[in-house]
């Protein structure tokens, strides 16, 4: 059965979840070490998240983006370098919105230019990231960081770019933002937001009241220094454990990552491992060219559950 580009897995029919565990219709338990592809930051059924949702569901669930969630926007602005937030429903939509905003901004700077602004997509390693970002900035290139997977505390920092001491012009968020409900956002400074006019851009479901109340509950929890410190500590623990356990494995080339986004690079395909892990009750992912095992562990306490798995 195809579940994504890289993953071919035997079907599992899931029926319920609690914390970091999922259960199939036969009552078999699985550790959800992929967090729904880096979405369920607190696992399943977090009481604070549920309380926020239930409260909002009893108030109003949807009023459209005409009445945006001022409270969520304020919190995102207060905790970042941005002045404005454009809400979306997904990471893809947030990327598209950021590209539109960036082009409008560039056109507003060079209105008579014949050629449209160019877009470059760059993926780079930690060692060169800081250097590239600073050079781009000084060359007048508008740096947009996609923190869809690595942002919102997953890397042990509220924003992953805090680990590299660089400052983006714009930042794209999604995945864990509403802790399991579809949501995304583009964060921009005044200067860029000024190039878009009322009515130029819209998205009916973005800023949905239910989703935004869930996102406020998520942000409240994940931005606390103690929470961030716990992500760093757990990430260190897992990386050390993996390095130790994989020490004699001839196919394991590198264990890498920041906080609780961890990659195990292999010199062979990682797909057979996915199946084997699923058989053993571990739900994991691949990345890269299919040769990297990707763990996007829940940010809450998972040590007790995982100890017996390794
Ligand atoms: C870094 C990154 N940005 C954006 C996206 C798109 O996000 P979404 O699936 O929420 O549309 C993905 C999806 O894999 C991603 O990995």
**pLDDT, tens digit, 9 for 90 and up, residues 142-190:** 889 999 999 999 999 999 999 988 888 899 999 999 999 999 999 999 9
State the Cα torsion 289-293-297-303 to the nearest 10°. Answer: -170
The minimum-distance atom of ligand 1 relative to the CA of 175 is: 10
Residue-level pLDDT at 306:
56
Question: Going by CA atoms, what residue is nearest to atom 4 of ligand 1?
Answer: 91
The minimum-distance atom of ligand 1 relative to the CA of 93 is: 11
pTM: 0.92
- The tens digit of pLDDT for each residue in 270-281 reads 999 999 999 999
- What distance in angstroms lies between residue 37's CA and the mean position of ligand 1's atoms? 9
The minimum-distance atom of ligand 1 relative to the CA of 37 is: 14
Using pLDDT thresholds of 50, 70 and 90, give the confidence band for residue 27: very high
- E strands along the chain, which residues? 14-18, 21-24, 29-32, 84-88, 144-146, 170-173, 184-188, 252-258, 261-266, 282-283, 285-287, 292-296
Residue-level pLDDT at 140:
76
* Pairing between β-strand 29-32 and β-strand 21-24 as defined by DSSP bridges: antiparallel
With contact defined as beta carbons under 8 Å apart, do 110 and 142 qualify? no
Residue-level pLDDT at 234:
95
Using pLDDT thresholds of 50, 70 and 90, give the confidence band for residue 2: very low
Question: Going by CA atoms, what residue is nearest to atom 16 of ligand 1?
Answer: 149
CA distances from residue 80 to 141, 142, 189 in whole angstroms, order as listed: 20, 17, 10
Question: Going by CA atoms, what residue is nearest to atom 10 of ligand 1?
Answer: 91
Question: Going by CA atoms, what residue is nearest to atom 8 of ligand 1?
Answer: 91
- What distance in angstroms lies between residue 298's CA and the mean position of ligand 1's atoms? 18
Picking from 216, 224, 228, the residue whose alpha carbon sits closest to that of residue 74 is 216
User: Radius of gyration over alpha carbons of the chain, in Å?
Assistant: 20
- Rounded (5°) CA angle 149-152-153: 100
Ligand 1 — pocket residues by CB below 6 A?
90-92, 95, 146, 148-149, 174
The minimum-distance atom of ligand 1 relative to the CA of 95 is: 4
- What distance in angstroms lies between residue 110's CA and the mean position of ligand 1's atoms? 30
The rounded Cα 261 to chain-centroid distance in angstroms is: 10
- Report the 10 Å Cβ neighbour count for 212: 25
Residue with the bigger pLDDT between 23 and 141: it is 23
- What distance in angstroms lies between residue 257's CA and the mean position of ligand 1's atoms? 18
Question: Going by CA atoms, what residue is nearest to atom 9 of ligand 1?
Answer: 91
Using pLDDT thresholds of 50, 70 and 90, give the confidence band for residue 305: low
- The tens digit of pLDDT for each residue in 48-77 reads 999 999 999 999 999 999 888 899 999 999
- Structural domains in the chain, CATH included, are 14-32+224-309 (3.90.1150.10), 50-222 (3.40.640.10)
With contact defined as beta carbons under 8 Å apart, do 88 and 184 qualify? yes
- What distance in angstroms lies between residue 91's CA and the mean position of ligand 1's atoms? 5
Picking from 234, 37, 246, 72, the residue whose alpha carbon sits closest to that of residue 155 is 234
- Report the 10 Å Cβ neighbour count for 3: 12
What average pLDDT score do residues 289-297 get?
Answer: 96
The minimum-distance atom of ligand 1 relative to the CA of 90 is: 10
What average pLDDT score do residues 290-308 get?
Answer: 80
- What distance in angstroms lies between residue 39's CA and the mean position of ligand 1's atoms? 11
Residue-level pLDDT at 15:
97
The minimum-distance atom of ligand 1 relative to the CA of 182 is: 10
What average pLDDT score do residues 95-100 get?
Answer: 95
């Amino acid at each position: 059965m195809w579940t994504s580009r890289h993953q071919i897995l035997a079907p599992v029919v899931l029926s319920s979840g609690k914390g970091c565990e999922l259960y199939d219709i036969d009552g078999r338990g699985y550790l959800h070490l992929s967090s729904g592809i880096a979405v369920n930051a607190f696992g399943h059924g977090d009481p604070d998240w549920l309380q926020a949702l239930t409260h909002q569901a009893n108030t109003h669930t949807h009023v459209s983006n005409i009445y945006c969630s001022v409270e969520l926007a304020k919190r995102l602005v207060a905790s970042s370098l941005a002045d404005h937030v454009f809400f979306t429903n997904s990471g893809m939509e947030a990327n598209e919105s950021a590209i539109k905003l960036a082009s409008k901004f560039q056109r507003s700077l060079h209105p008579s230019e014949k050629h449209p602004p160019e877009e470059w997509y760059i993926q780079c390693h930690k060692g060169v990231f800081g250097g590239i970002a600073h050079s781009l900035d000084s060359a007048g290139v508008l740096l947009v960081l996609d923190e869809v997977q690595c942002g919102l505390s997953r890397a042990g920092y509220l924003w992953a770019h805090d680990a590299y001491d660089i400052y983006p012009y714009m930042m794209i968020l999604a995945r864990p933002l509403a802790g399991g409900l579809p949501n995304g956002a583009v964060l921009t400074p005044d200067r860029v937001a000024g190039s878009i006019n009322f009515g130029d851009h819209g998205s009916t479901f973005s800023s949905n009241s239910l989703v935004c109340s869930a996102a406020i509950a998520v942000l409240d929890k994940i931005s606390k220094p103690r929470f961030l410190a716990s992500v760093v500590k757990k990430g260190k623990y897992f990386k050390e454990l993996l390095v130790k356990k994989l020490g004699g494995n001839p196919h394991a080339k590198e264990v890498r990552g920041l906080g609780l986004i961890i990659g195990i690079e292999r010199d062979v395909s990682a797909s057979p491992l996915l199946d084997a892990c699923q058989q053993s009750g571990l739900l994991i992912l691949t990345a890269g060219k299919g040769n990297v095992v990707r763990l996007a562990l829940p940010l809450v306490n998972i040590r007790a559950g995982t100890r017996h798995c390794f």
